Structure 1
Amino acid sequence: MKKETLQKRTKIANDIMYYIYTHIETNIDIEELSMDLGVSKFHMHRIFKEIFGKNIYESIKSIRLQKASNLLLTNKYSTISNIVNLCGYSSQSSFIKIFKERFEMSPKEWKNGGYKEYSNKIIQQSQKAMQSKADFKNIVPTIVKMPFIESYYIRNKGYNVNIEETWQKLETWVLTNNIESYKRIALFHDNPTITPLDECQYIGCIMVDDMENIKSDRLPKFKIAEGVYAKFDLKGKTGDVLPFIQWVYHEWLPKSEYETTTKPSYAIYEKLDFFDEDNEFELSFYVSINF
């Protein structure tokens, strides 16, 4: 396959995935999406499966469940019916059935604390996370209104060792294009503490200060959502991020009386642990909130 053809197909698949994540609360119309992208439904389905290994409908079902399971544990004042509507389900009964199949408990059991055991099993999949001794209880966030952030990106399936390779590729792209002023951003489409790590969508992003001078079409672009966020400043070592995200979603959010939304959280790095000889990082973590 030619390089240009592969880039085009990857862009189509990424555009579909981005659309699903940003329209998950709606009745996603595949016919309308194919018209917007200028690609037939047949080719759209085929390209998506080639790139991501599962079909579009499976992905929509999985993403809806991930979003709903996250809202159930953070939004204590929302009813199951509210969350069903936020995540685009047509009926509460179908949601409960699908939820039980995936998590082996009812949404009510999950909301009442069942998520904790499920999450701890996921954290145990990461040896580095299990070695973390970090304590987050004294971290106090600031509430900020963030503009949308346009960035170049590489999508990584899985919260795993491949993330380092993703950042190496992004760094190569930065150096190749002589980019001097930029920021590194990690976008978490899924909450990695309640999503099996091999299923997480982790996006490595580069926000370039001077976008107009970038001539390269090697990487796709997208926009990280604007909105109101709680911003947490954190310094730590490789392995601390997963326990930190677990603390934000499982302890800070439920106690804060804020609710989160379906917008993904993201981290802006001042120092990236993968490029540091001591494996240390400095970041600001942003989680979408409302009140």
Structure 2
Amino acid sequence: MLTLDMKRETKNQRADTVNSVLSYIYLHIDSDLNVNELASLNHLSPHHLHRIFKEETGRNLYETIKSIRLQKAASLLLTNKYATISQIARMCGYSSQTSFIKAFKERFQTTPKIWRNGAYLTYSKKIIESSKSASESLRDFSGTIPKIIRTAPIRAAYIRHNGYDISIKNSWNRLYAWSLENRIGENARQIGFHHDNPTITPLSECAYIAAIEIDKEIHPHGTVACFEIPASLCAVFHISGKYGDVLRFMQYAYLIWLPYSGFEAKTLPPYAIYRNNHFLNETGEFDLEFYLPITVL
């Protein structure tokens, strides 16, 4: 009979596997991701990996990879205006432009070309309107100019959160409690990691990570996992406001600033380093630096 400790350890091992797989997918979305390779990296059979992934996330592994590829492509089509559709397809792991166009049309009900030429505006407007706080925000970030820096890697403990809404508070509270238990210093940087562009991804489908910087001596396990944010050239925006303003800012950064900046976005996800975390304070106000990985045109 399995004891409570044995069951908890099994749960933690499965969480470690899912975290490892998702981290690998997001960091290598531009490559030909092979499920057999993912299984081998985690010392599992493909069948066992599929079963664990489905039971832990409620999602099919193949469909998850496909969804991540298409969300990345939809964002890059807007931010990387000088890249061809074929180049965008390759950046998101598609070897065939034909298969990419077919998959994109199934997901967004339009072709990549029509999307790039303006169809994204209606899509984005519906998403903003679906968020009461964002639709009520009157913030205008026009003219906000970032500084360009080369970042250093950051080692962090994290909790994954599905959806971009106020329920992210729950994940931040759990992570903060974990940090207190493990005596993480009060000055450790708190980081919000955006795997998806929430201005063109239905908010319920956005993948978000609540993270906190840790030393190399700390080794999280289970639902609190560990990863390294890679070094990158980044555009860094310093912004402040209240809950709801972040989506308005991301609209500006992705749809207005980036396409005409002389830079293009990488497939690496952006992240926010909080000076004042609105998911942990009582005011709902934030002060943060938003790091957008870029490359020079």
TM-score by length of 1: 0.96
State the 1:215 CA deviation.
6.0
Cα distance in structure 2, aligned partners of 1:266 and 1:153: 13
Cα distance in structure 2, aligned partners of 1:77 and 1:138: 22
What CA deviation, in whole Å up to 9, does each residue of 1:35-81 have, x standing for no partner? 11111211110111111111111011101101111110111110001
2:134 equivalent in structure 1: 129
What CA deviation, in whole Å up to 9, does each residue of 1:246-277 have, x standing for no partner? 11000000121211011000000010112323
Residue 175 of structure 2 is aligned to residue 170 of structure 1: yes
Structure 2 SS opposite 1:21: helix
State the 1:173 CA deviation.
0.7
Q: 2:249 pairs with 238, 244, 263, which one?
A: 244
User: Is the CA contact 2:193–2:208 (under 8 Å) kept in the aligned structure 1?
Assistant: yes
State the 1:162 CA deviation.
2.1
Cα distance in structure 2, aligned partners of 1:31 and 1:68: 24
Alignment of 1:261-272 (within 5 A): 261-272=266-277
Q: 1:151 pairs with 144, 150, 156, which one?
A: 156
Cα distance in structure 1, aligned partners of 2:200 and 2:239: 21
User: Is the CA contact 2:192–2:211 (under 8 Å) kept in the aligned structure 1?
Assistant: yes
2:100 equivalent in structure 1: 95
1:114 equivalent in structure 2: 119
Cα distance in structure 1, aligned partners of 2:273 and 2:171: 16
Alignment of 1:32-47 (within 5 A): 32-47=37-52
Cα distance in structure 1, aligned partners of 2:155 and 2:90: 28
What CA deviation, in whole Å up to 9, does each residue of 1:135-171 have, x standing for no partner? 2113110001012211000000111232000000011
Structure 2 SS opposite 1:273: coil
Alignment of 1:10-29 (within 5 A): 10-29=15-34
User: Is the CA contact 1:261–1:289 (under 8 Å) kept in the aligned structure 2?
Assistant: yes
One-letter amino acid of the counterpart of residue 76, structure 1: K
Cα distance in structure 1, aligned partners of 2:290 and 2:205: 21
One-letter amino acid of the counterpart of residue 160, structure 2: R
1:52 equivalent in structure 2: 57
1:76 equivalent in structure 2: 81
User: Is the CA contact 1:123–1:129 (under 8 Å) kept in the aligned structure 2?
Assistant: yes
CA RMSD after TM alignment: 1.3
Cα distance in structure 1, aligned partners of 2:59 and 2:284: 34
Cα distance in structure 2, aligned partners of 1:225 and 1:265: 11
One-letter amino acid of the counterpart of residue 224, structure 1: I
User: Is the CA contact 1:237–1:281 (under 8 Å) kept in the aligned structure 2?
Assistant: yes
Residue 9 of structure 2 is aligned to residue 7 of structure 1: no
User: Is the CA contact 1:140–1:232 (under 8 Å) kept in the aligned structure 2?
Assistant: yes
Cα distance in structure 2, aligned partners of 1:169 and 1:176: 11
State the 1:220 CA deviation.
1.1
Structure 2 SS opposite 1:244: helix
Cα distance in structure 1, aligned partners of 2:172 and 2:205: 19
One-letter amino acid of the counterpart of residue 217, structure 1: H
One-letter amino acid of the counterpart of residue 288, structure 2: L
Residue 2 of structure 2 is aligned to residue 31 of structure 1: no
Cα distance in structure 2, aligned partners of 1:34 and 1:57: 13
2:207 equivalent in structure 1: 201
One-letter amino acid of the counterpart of residue 221, structure 2: D
Cα distance in structure 1, aligned partners of 2:158 and 2:180: 15
Cα distance in structure 1, aligned partners of 2:151 and 2:162: 26
What CA deviation, in whole Å up to 9, does each residue of 1:64-101 have, x standing for no partner? 10111111011111000111111111211111111111
Structure 2 SS opposite 1:10: helix
User: Is the CA contact 2:190–2:212 (under 8 Å) kept in the aligned structure 1?
Assistant: yes
Cα distance change, pair 92–217 in 1 and its aligned pair in 2 (3 A): closer
Unaligned runs of 5+ in 2: none
Unaligned runs of 5+ in 1: none
Cα distance change, pair 245–79 in 1 and its aligned pair in 2 (3 A): same
Cα distance in structure 2, aligned partners of 1:215 and 1:99: 39
2:190 equivalent in structure 1: 184
